[in-house]
Amino acid sequence: MGLGAKRRTVLVTGAAGFIGSHMVDRLLAEGFEVVGLDNLMTGDLSNLEAAGRDVHFHFQSGDVREPLHVYAEIVMNFACPASPVHYQHEPYATFTTSVLGALNLIQMARGRPCTILHASTSEVYGDPLVHPQPETYWGNVNPIGERSCYDEGKRGAETALNDARRRLGVDVRIARIFNTYGPRMAFGDGRVVSNFLVQALVGKPLTIYGDGSQTRSFCYVDDLVEGLFRMLRHGPLDAPVNLGNPGEFTIAELAELVRELVGGVGLERHPLPADDPKQRRPDITRARSLLGFDPQVPLREGVARTLADFRARLGEDVVAGGA
> Which residues are the active-site residues?
150
Enumerate residues 6+ apart whose C-beta is below 8 A from 21: 15, 43, 47, 48, 51, 184
Neighbours of 123 (CB within 10 A): 26
Cβ 222 vs Cβ 261: under 8 Å: no
Rounded-to-integer distance, Cα 119 and Cα 61, Å: 20
CA dist., res. 314 & res. 76, Å (int): 30
Q: Helical H runs in the chain? A: 18-29, 84-89, 91-109, 148-163, 192-201, 221-234, 251-262, 285-291, 299-314
At residue 171, the 3 state secondary structure works out as strand
Of 244, 268, 257, nearest to 132 by C-alpha is 244
